[in-house]
Amino acid sequence: MRHCSVQVRGLLTRHELDRYNALMDVGSYLESQERYDLAYTIQQEVDLLILPAIERLKEKSRARDRATAEYLESLRPDEEEDDN
């Protein structure tokens, strides 16, 4: 079973995290029993479960990029005054 990143896991809601952990337990058990066909189905479910957290991570990144751009833009008038 493939785990998601720590960043994504940190953005899962409590309900999503509980479900994620349960699915990973089931998937690990199925792999230990060499039932890879069923473990694949569980992995697909995990992949669907983490999609909202991935979107939340992307939005945090976009917000950080916007804040950085605004900060850099706020420095521009100061630079122009220094040039004059």
**Strands annotated E in 1-84:** none
Per-residue pLDDT of the chain (84 residues; tens, 9 = 90+): 899 999 999 999 999 999 999 999 999 999 999 999 999 999 999 999 999 999 999 999 999 999 999 999 998 876 666 555
Question: What is the residue type of 7?
Answer: Q
Residue partners of 32: CB distance under 8 A and separation at least 6: none
- Angle 14-16-22 from CA coordinates, rounded to 5°: 105
- Look up the pTM and report it: 0.78
Nearest to 1 by CA among 25, 21, 27, 22: 27
Q: Residue 31 in contact with residue 39, Cβ under 8 Å?
A: yes
